[in-house]
Copies of this chain bind each other. A is one copy, B any other.
């Protein structure tokens, strides 16, 4: 007659706990898994099992984590990516960004610094004419900035016409348009195409620090870790041109708070920029000159 107690005495308690178990899970992969899938998932299983063993993760703790992961998915849609945000507050997006950059460097391809995409980029951002103002209803506490620059070939220095600069930023209330019912759709975002001199220009807001959303699992986790939610003031940017490697980056205001304790760890020293005084422009009292140098695809 089987009984749970009999089972206990018969079972080798170390079998499931030890490296043999992990090896067994890894070796369950079949021959048709791709080599890279096998490499990544073997490494993941090894590390996630080692983590659980190292800190003696309990069923209750694991169950709480699964609930948060499911909650993240349930909050995510085409306008919000809470799974990504969870990774961001643990530094993971910045890390894989750096790894990807490093791998590209090692491959000998010309590359330039990058930063994380973040969860608020939209694929359907409209293209606007150079000189357009992306702030459709500038808030009272907003400062307009004339942002402009040139996109050039990193090796030759030649201008790149028809390059795309895709820009997005939060408003002064800390919200991106998709988070804020009071902002018009696609407010504070736009794509700009460089002219025959490789130049682009737009009006945008001087960015301000803002907290990441705290109504989901990422906010809950920050609270549990006794961490703040704030990000330093920044403008998001993607630069694209045919035949060149795209760049995703963020540029940070050197006068912003939180440069040293960004809640998503995206600040790199070299991504910090200065806003200058601008004269004789009725639209803007500040100016940001920002050039982008793209490396050719090989």
Interface residues of chain A, those whose CB is within 8 Å of chain B, are: 1-13, 15-17, 21-22, 24-25, 28-34, 37-41, 43-63, 66-67, 69-76, 81-84, 87, 90-103, 105, 111-113, 117, 149, 154, 224-227, 239, 247, 249, 251, 261, 265, 268-274, 289-293
Contacts and interface: CB of A to CB of B under 8 A. Distances in A.
Nearest to A47: B51
24 contacts: A4-B292, A4-B293, A5-B293, A6-B270, A7-B112, A7-B249, A10-B270, A11-B271, A13-B101, A16-B95, A21-B265, A29-B226, A29-B227, A30-B225, A33-B226, A37-B225, A40-B61, A43-B55, A49-B95, A56-B103, A59-B100, A60-B100, A62-B93, A72-B73
Nearest to A26: B91
Contacts of A91: 21-22, 24-25, 45, 49
Given A16-B98, A25-B90, A72-B73, 10 more contacts: A2-B290, A13-B98, A16-B268, A28-B265, A29-B226, A33-B226, A46-B51, A48-B90, A56-B103, A74-B76
Counting chain B CB atoms within 10 Å of each CB, which of A4, A10, A225 scores highest? A4
A173 to B, nearest CB: 25
Contacts of A272: 2
Contacts of A265: 21, 24-25, 28
Contacts of A247: 4
Given A96-B57, A225-B33, A76 B83 contact: no
Contacts of A58: 96, 99-100, 103
B225 A112 contact: no
A198 B66 CA distance: 35
A102 B6 CA distance: 16
Contacts of A67: 83
Question: Which of A103, A105, A112 has the largest number of chain B CB atoms within 10 A?
Answer: A112
A4 to B, nearest CB: 4
Contacts of A21: 91, 94-95, 98, 265
Contacts of A76: 70, 73-74
